[in-house]
Amino acid sequence: MKKLALPVIGLVALVLVVIACGGSAPVPTPPPAEEILNAADEAMSKLNSLHIDATMVVTITSEGFTAPFMAMTFAGNMQNPDRVMGTGTLAGPGGIFPFDMAVIGDTTYFNQEATGWEVVPSDQTFVFDPLRKAQPNPEEVQDLIYVGEETVGGRPGYHLSGKVASGLVNLALIGQDGDISCNVDYWIDQENSYLLKMSLAGNTVLATTLSGPVDISMTTTFSDYNKPVTIEVPDVSK
């Protein structure tokens, strides 16, 4: 009987090893979606501070026309448990208006160049609460599912999706007082469970002179976790 050449013997041995080992290494199974979100809620609650960048667009359809009704940007720092301060722009039919905003506990402060810092009445609070954006609040999320693994800002993250009531968005300023159902997506860091990104998308119907369907979308990204931040109460005496 002829002897097998060494390369052939080596190839056969390699195939046997692969078969014995079951082929490629198994892909790790991610934790359940609820467990990932609960871990994010706990991790974010323990942070001392972080930075947020948010954008929101409100689009209205009236009399057959669809157009942006309001657009907002906001960038600021948060200091747990109940402080945030930053700057942004608010764009609407009347133009683009830069602003400063601060939230200290239950009080919202608003500053424009023409007025200076003012306390915003509770029934006229700003269109969104940035403090709640940094807390997933798992008890508010329904139909939560695991979407997959995605990278955000160079960090490997878990992508989750579900539904949440629009208590995260105050629509009273645009003529809508009730909650609406929003689709919510979270991107959560696989290593430390920090919230990397969050998006909301929903719709409602206005009952004002601009009555019609309204679509709302918001995206918030998070960074600079635990970077030293000091936020003071604005001086409203000026």
Q: 183-217 pLDDT, tens per residue?
A: 999 999 999 999 999 998 887 766 555 566 778 88
148 CB-near residues (< 8 Å, 6+ apart): 159
DSSP H or E stretch at residue 72: strand 65-79
Are 122 and 107 spatial neighbours (Cβ–Cβ below 8 Å)? no
- CA 133: distance to chain centroid? 6
- Percent of the chain at pLDDT exceeding 70: 69
**81: cis peptide before it, omega within 30°?**
yes
All structural domains of the chain, each given as residue ranges with its CATH number in brackets, are 32-85+126-223 (2.50.20.20)
Is the pTM for the entire model greater than 0.85?
no
Are 102 and 84 spatial neighbours (Cβ–Cβ below 8 Å)? yes
pLDDT confidence band for 58 (50 / 70 / 90): confident
